[in-house]
Chains A and B, each alone.
Chain A
Amino acid sequence: MKIEGKVWRYGDNIDTDVIIPARYLNSFDPQELASHCMVDIDETFSHEVQTGDIMVGGKNFGCGSSREHAPIAIKASGIPVIIAASFARIFYRNSINVGLPVLEIGSDVEKIKAGHILRIDLTAGCIENSTTGDIFQAAPLPGFIQDIARAGGLIEYVKEKK
């Protein structure tokens, strides 16, 4: 699967309270969650994000609470993939489970800035920065995690196995 989109760039330790503040957790409707996504650090995001745009963060992206509302809010905003230096583990797991691919590229992430255009080959884990010409390679998903991703999430995977 190939993706091309504009970068929304955030820093290190982006926590799930920032991605979707607890005051909005009285709903789990994806579109409603998306309408509040990132609001506490970036009021423009939910208004201006375009389907296909790419979210890029620093290290420990998605730390904090286990709320699956966080990757759901990002996915429902139209973001098809998140790239970060590293991900907090529950967020990583949740993203895969809800069918939102995440790519870990370590310190290479520093070469990606807001507004850059990225072209991503998800299957190969290859990221091309069309703005700067840089090319990055993300670590491939391990073992049966690939099967979960291919099935489109954990529920589909479990149903397939039944």
Chain B
Amino acid sequence: MGMTMTQKILARHAGLDFVKAGDLINCKLDMVLANDITAPPSIAEYKKIGRPVFDCTKVALVPDHFIPNKDIKSAGLAKIVRDFARENNIQHYYEVGRVGIEHVLLPEQGLVAPGMVTIGADSHTCTYGALGGFSTGVGSTDLGVAMATGEAWFKVPEAIKVNITGKKPDDITGKDVMLTLIGMIGVDGALYQSLEFMGSGIAELSMTDRFTIANMAIEAGAKNGIFPVDDQTMQYIKNRVTTPYDIVTADDDASYRRVVSINLEELKPVVAFPHLPENTKVVGTFGDIKIDQVVIGSCTNGRIEDLKIAASIMQGHTIHPDVRCIIIPGSQKIYMEAMEKGYIKIFIESGAAVSTPTCGPCLGGYMGILAAGEKCVSTTNRNFRGRMGHVDSEVYLAGPQVAAASAILGKIAAPKEVY
């Protein structure tokens, strides 16, 4: 019996020739990540162990959730992270003005690569599976231990094979692919398992699409999501990744618990209704839903291609008078590129607010909190009760094309309704 991509990467990092689902193993880590919310408790746990940081080039500390500091307490958290980074000579610490949203920033900076094992004290650490590595979210204690030892324990996961075929229609994004998949298998459909994406349709998906898809593996309960490495991956890591990496392929006789098939040609733009990402509905199959706010950004959809899609729809239109539209580039680099390409001008001319990179409204932190009864279309990844503000507010998850169209029309809308 062979191994899946995930199993093979884990085996190599555990120094083993073979592992099978269910094995408990200890792995060496290539990158360890925490943010301004999770690093302070991680640091507190780390200090209890009393060892030096295992490798100051393999720790990334990214203050992105409540920064620029939203209040005095958050300023205190950010300071704990900053002081720790300085004291321990952490090489990948990013200050306000240079920081981006962690899962946008790490790939952009070349800190994650094919075949690597990464853990982060943030559930969306699974994003880096888009590059063909194993990455998963953990808590602060695991992270504190990892900073001291450079290791973590894992239970080798079973796998679900997601077979993607067909040609991707123009109005479909990675978000539609993933929301459709979560709608099919449910928010616990991949619990304790890896989602292994493969098939002829992978070539149709841009790196942005793949990051979006891998990012939301956790929304299906998965341990990780992973894509094969192809020309597009190599093009992406070229000039970014300077450390050694390892291209891993699944064995032909690897075993999968189940196979789920998605034909890209059949997909339609979708939204996930409150209060679970599995409540997927095709745009146009429900009555008018008036909205109060639109958020375009986050580790799911804050990349340049997302902003390009939004700008192409918003160009020459104005945001609906009843809607506040907030657009947040995922990193400074993306912000700059969006400016150079004229997207920022389009956003501001259409009446949108553009912010410096931050998680902000995605987790109901700040920069766009919802009042009771308000509805928001958001390109983020979670629509749990109260996620973006008051417990009686509602979040509808969508791709950037649906979000942009909805901002213009003041109701949940498909891009084709704008023209």
- Is A17 a contact of B41 with CB atoms below 8 Å? no
Q: Does B144 contact A (CB under 8 A)?
A: yes
User: What residues of chain B have their CB less than 8 Å away from a CB belonging to chain A?
Assistant: 24, 37-38, 40-41, 44-45, 48-49, 65-66, 70-71, 73-74, 76-77, 120-123, 125, 137-142, 144-145, 148-149, 153, 155, 187-188, 191-192, 218, 221, 223, 276, 363-365, 382, 384-387, 391
A 1-37 to B, binary, CB cutoff 8 A, 1 in contact else 0:
0000000000001010110011101111000000000
Chain A contact patch, size range: 35 or more
- Is B121 a contact of A66 with CB atoms below 8 Å? yes
- Is B387 a contact of A63 with CB atoms below 8 Å? no
Given contacts A26-B71, A142-B24, A143-B24, contact A68 B140 (CB under 8 A): yes
**Additional A-B contacts beyond A22-B387, A71-B139, A158-B149 (17; CB < 8 A):** A13-B187, A17-B382, A17-B384, A18-B384, A18-B385, A21-B386, A22-B363, A66-B138, A68-B41, A90-B137, A93-B139, A94-B140, A145-B24, A154-B142, A155-B141, A158-B148, A162-B49
Q: Does A41 contact B (CB under 8 A)?
A: yes
- Is A88 a contact of B139 with CB atoms below 8 Å? no
Q: Does A98 contact B (CB under 8 A)?
A: yes
Q: Does A119 contact B (CB under 8 A)?
A: no
A93-145 CB contacts (< 8 Å) to partner B:
93-94, 97-98, 142-145
Q: Does A77 contact B (CB under 8 A)?
A: no
User: What residues of chain A have their CB less than 8 Å away from a CB belonging to chain B?
Assistant: 13, 15, 17-18, 21-23, 25-28, 40-41, 59-60, 63-69, 71-72, 86, 88-90, 93-94, 97-98, 142-145, 153-155, 158-159, 162
- Is B191 a contact of A67 with CB atoms below 8 Å? no
A110–chain B nearest beta-carbon distance, Å: 16
Q: Which residues on the B side are within 8 Å of A64 (C-beta)?
A: 123, 382, 384
- Is A17 a contact of B387 with CB atoms below 8 Å? yes
Of B37, B48, B73, B145, chain A has the most CB atoms within 10 Å of the CB of B37
Residue of B nearest to A12 (CB): B188
- Is A66 a contact of B123 with CB atoms below 8 Å? yes
- Is A159 a contact of B48 with CB atoms below 8 Å? yes
- Is A17 a contact of B386 with CB atoms below 8 Å? yes
12 A-B pairs in the complex with CB atoms less than 8 angstroms apart? A15-B382, A15-B384, A17-B363, A17-B387, A18-B384, A40-B386, A65-B122, A67-B38, A72-B41, A88-B221, A89-B221, A97-B139
Residue of B nearest to A161 (CB): B149
Which 8 A-B pairs give the minimum distances between C-beta atoms?
Answer: A94-B139, A26-B73, A68-B139, A97-B141, A60-B188, A66-B123, A66-B137, A22-B363
Q: Which residues on the B side are within 8 Å of A28 (C-beta)?
A: 40-41, 44
Q: Which residues on the A side are within 8 Å of B140 (C-beta)?
A: 68, 94
Q: Which residues on the B side are within 8 Å of A155 (C-beta)?
A: 45, 48-49, 141, 144-145
- Is B363 a contact of A65 with CB atoms below 8 Å? yes
Q: Which residues on the B side are within 8 Å of A59 (C-beta)?
A: 188
Given contacts A66-B138, A154-B141, contact A86 B188 (CB under 8 A): yes
- Is B363 a contact of A89 with CB atoms below 8 Å? no
- Is B364 a contact of A13 with CB atoms below 8 Å? no
B399–chain A nearest beta-carbon distance, Å: 21
Partner of B187, one of A23, A63, A89, A162: A63
User: A145 CA to B23 CA in the complex, in Å?
Assistant: 12
B108–chain A nearest beta-carbon distance, Å: 21
A51–chain B nearest beta-carbon distance, Å: 23
- Is B221 a contact of A17 with CB atoms below 8 Å? no
- Is B145 a contact of A88 with CB atoms below 8 Å? no
- Is A86 a contact of B385 with CB atoms below 8 Å? no
Residue of B nearest to A15 (CB): B384
- Is A17 a contact of B385 with CB atoms below 8 Å? yes
Given contacts A22-B364, A155-B144, contact A41 B385 (CB under 8 A): yes
- Is A144 a contact of B24 with CB atoms below 8 Å? yes
Q: Which residues on the A side are within 8 Å of B70 (C-beta)?
A: 26
